[in-house]
Amino acid sequence: MAAGMEDIRFLTVAEVADMMRVSKMTVYRMVHAGDLPAIRFGRSFRVPESAVAQVISTHVADTA
């Protein structure tokens, strides 16, 4: 396995939807729009956990 790949954790679309408190369809839309990077395994997508954290941190609304 490539160096550093053992630390990457991949999440299913359902897991991402639960983390972000959105529907699975919203996650699919984000993946297809290129807003959320994902890897396709057969007919399903897997999203790196680090990508979810990055999307959440960069899209947090400024409430001040």
**64 in any annotated domain:** no
Cα angle 20, 21, 26; round to 5: 80
| Of the candidates 58, 59, 61, 39, the residue with the CA atom closest to the CA atom of residue 48 | 39
Q: What is d(CA 40, CA 18) in angstroms, rounded to the nearest whole number? A: 19
Is the pTM higher than 0.85?
no
Structural domain span for residue 39: 5-58
Predicted confidence (pLDDT) per residue in 11-62, tens digit: 999 999 999 999 999 999 999 999 999 999 999 999 999 999 998 888 776 5
The total number of structural domains that make up the chain: 1
Domain with residue 30: its CATH number is 3.90.105
